[in-house]
């Protein structure tokens, strides 16, 4: 590593330049990771927070609540199973999007989750008690920032039904819309009016252990899936995740190309030094270790600094922006950048090993 470290000191300007470029790629990749996580949280945090393990929906619904309509006929086989087995709970769940108008004329968007009395889906005991009383809404804590208070009345646009705010709870969001809870009966009256006929969107299932649901699913006429699989039904979830993954992939490929191009040019410029090392008896393995070690120092330093700057910038992002930096994705991005950068340098390996020692003895410039 003697020659590698000396090169780093002597040619620090060009190494600093390529380091800045790699650091910027690391910064962008980390920021995109935060945006991707923020969008995911904004799309499914409410569903993720519900204490369920599976969802049973109408066949062909493709994880979407808006495409699924079930009735008590579908629910009965599940309830029969609960009465015969321990460790399983089921509850009907209604999910729809509404606009609600405040008394001052402002309109807010609501992802309304209708839950049955006594359901395990209630986020907290106080919310369960509120929903067991008169018809009303228990709003996600995020609505507090809009100035809404307990006792305010919200008019559901389209049906002109006025509902009081009964309280607040942590609920998160679904489909990038903050969640509100109501009783299942209230939800049914808003969606179906007087013609509800016991309809709802899905059956929430909580199982204490992995259980085979195929037989129950068939009798109930439903399609059951895990909660994680149901995330795909959140509006925009799949498209947003795919887009962010594609952009991050392009950045990683670009990083590998940058490193590969730099290392190739740098190897050409160092051909005389490499030839001299070989003329003095250095093996190909020694020369490769020297060159790759030099690149690893630049890569790791630049990537770590870029990720650290991104963390600092992430702390300044306003809360209104869906942005969330998490350790696991950041570590994955950093490691992937280093690995792909080293892989990109392999294009110059053959040139290093093929340098003839006679080059060092050449009198040509």
pLDDT at residue number 3:
60
As given in the structure block, the two tokens for residue 138 are: 């228990």
Give the mean pLDDT of 236-257: 84
Q: Identify the pLDDT of residue 139.
A: 92
Query: Can you list the alpha helix ranges (DSSP code H) found in the chain?
Result: 2-10, 12-49, 72-84, 125-131, 184-192, 214-220, 227-230, 237-269, 271-279, 284-314, 327-344, 349-354
Could you give phi then psi for residue 329, rounded to 5 degrees? -60, -35
Per-residue pLDDT for 40 more than 70?
A: yes
Which one is predicted more confidently, 219 or 265?
219
Residue 263 vs residue 237, higher pLDDT:
237
Residue that wins the pLDDT comparison between 261 and 116: 116
Taking the CA atoms of 224, 45, 142 and 206 in sequence, report the sign of the dihedral they define.
Answer: positive
Measure the CA–CA gap between 220 and 271, rounded to whole angstroms.
73
Q: Confidence class of residue 363 from pLDDT cuts 50, 70 and 90?
A: very low
- Highest mean pLDDT (candidates 15-29, 44-58, 129-143): 44-58
**What mean pLDDT is predicted for residues 39-66?**
90
Length of the chain: 365
Structural element, H or E, at residue 148: none
- State mean pLDDT over 212-236: 88
- For residue 224, what pLDDT band results from cuts at 50, 70 and 90? very high
Q: Which position has the higher pLDDT, 21 or 74?
A: 74
Asked if residue 364 has pLDDT above 60, the reply is no
Half-sphere exposure of 259 (CA within 13 A, CB side): 34
Which pTM does this prediction carry?
A: 0.79
DSSP 67: G
pLDDT at 93: 95
Question: How far is the C-alpha of 38 from the C-alpha of 320, rounded, in Å?
Answer: 11
| Residue matched to tokens 């994705």 | 329
Quote the DSSP letter at residue 362.
-
**Does the pLDDT of residue 365 top 50, yes or no?**
no
The pLDDT value given to residue 75: 93
**In angstroms, rounded to a whole number, what is the distance separating the alpha carbons of residues 237 and 246?**
14
Closest CA to 355 of 271, 287, 289, 277: 271
pLDDT confidence of 29, banded at 50, 70, 90? Answer: confident
Can you tell me the mean pLDDT for 103-107? 89
CB neighbourhood size of 33 (10 A): 25
Q: Which of 308, 339, 342, 350 is nearest to 325 (CA)?
A: 308
Helix, strand or coil, per DSSP, at residue 137? strand
């Amino acid at each position: 590593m003697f020659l590698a470290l000396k090169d780093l000191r002597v040619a620090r300007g060009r190494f600093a330049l390529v380091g800045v470029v790699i650091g910027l790629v690391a910064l962008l990749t980390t920021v995109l990771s935060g945006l991707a996580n923020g969008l995911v949280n904004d799309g499914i945090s409410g569903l993720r927070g519900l204490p369920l393990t599976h969802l049973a929906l109408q066949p062909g619904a493709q994880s979407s609540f808006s495409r699924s309509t079930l009735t008590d006929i579908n629910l009965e086989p599940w309830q029969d199973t609960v009465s015969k087995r321990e460790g399983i709970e089921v509850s009907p769940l209604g999910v729809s999007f509404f606009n609600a108008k405040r008394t001052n004329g402002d309109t807010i968007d609501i992802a309304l989750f209708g839950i049955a009395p006594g359901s395990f889906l209630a986020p907290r005991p106080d919310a369960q008690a509120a929903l067991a009383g008169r018809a009303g809404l228990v709003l996600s804590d995020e609505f507090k920032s809009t100035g809404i208070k307990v006792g305010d009345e919200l008019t559901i646009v389209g049906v002109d039904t006025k509902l009081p705010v009964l309280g607040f709870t942590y609920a998160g969001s679904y489909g990038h819309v903050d969640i509100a809870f109501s009783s299942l009966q209230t939800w049914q009256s808003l969606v179906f009016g007087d013609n509800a006929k016991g309809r709802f969107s899905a059956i929430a299932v909580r199982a204490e252990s992995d259980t085979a649901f195929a037989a129950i699913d068939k009798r109930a006429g439903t399609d059951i899936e895990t909660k994680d699989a149901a995330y795909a039904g959140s509006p925009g979830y799949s498209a947003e995740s795919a887009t962010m993954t594609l952009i991050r992939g392009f950045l990683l490929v670009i990083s590998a190309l940058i490193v590969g191009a730099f290392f190739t040019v740098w190897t050409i410029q160092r051909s005389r030094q490499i030839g001299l090392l070989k003329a003095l008896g250095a093996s190909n393995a020694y020369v490769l270790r020297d060159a790759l070690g030099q690149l690893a120092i630049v890569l790791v330093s630049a990537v770590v600094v870029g990720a650290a700057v991104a963390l600092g910038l992430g702390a300044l992002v306003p809360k209104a922006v869906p942005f969330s930096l998490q350790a696991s994705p950041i570590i994955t991005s950093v490691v992937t950048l280093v690995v792909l950068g080293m892989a990109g340098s392999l294009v110059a390996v053959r040139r290093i090993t093929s340098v003839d020692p006679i080059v060092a003895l050449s009198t040509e410039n």
